[in-house]
Structure 1
């Protein structure tokens, strides 16, 4: 989990704890943040991560413009602590389901 802090230049601070998954799909790497349902991609892990930084910046700019950040985070299950000039948001809890998978036995008729 990465901590993400951002200021808007007006002494307002946003602090988020983000989990970012990187998946390889064919020749591309996909960076996916399940707690915000945002993603990016690149031909390397670094490109995917850099792309995600651009996506999160665009997301926050959109939310700032529409004054919708707190409501959007809550819609995604986040807990939002709003203090004067400082918003701290905790993502929804993750649960380890401990699902045991097995490979099904398949019989092919020749």
Structure 2
């Protein structure tokens, strides 16, 4: 893959495992440590991107997920505000 794709990765602990999640693309994986979870979700994303390239949908998938292309790289959307709110 010649182009660079920047993604957000979040790590959560669930029980004794750690979950790595890319919320922008709804791709996740897990590991026994936070670093393992990060590496695992990065591998899952690489496989996801490779499959999208094979079937010719990578640009479409990224655009639909809100990514923008700048200088040949794909960047995730940047919110103007981000906060946690409680409902109810």
What TM-score do the two structures reach when normalised by structure 2?
A: 0.83
Instruction: Give the aligned length.
Output: 87
> Match of 1:79?
68
Q: State the superposition RMSD in angstroms.
A: 2.1
The structure where helix makes up a greater share of residues is 2
> Match of 1:37?
26
The offset of 1:16, in angstroms, is 1.8
Q: Per chain length, whose mean CA-contact separation is higher, i.e. which structure has more relative contact order (CA < 8 Å, sep 6+)? A: 2
The structure where strand makes up a greater share of residues is 1
Gap regions ≥5 residues in structure 1: 1-7, 105-110
Does residue 96 in structure 1 map to residue 82 in structure 2? yes
Q: Which has the larger radius of gyration?
A: 1
Gap regions ≥5 residues in structure 2: none
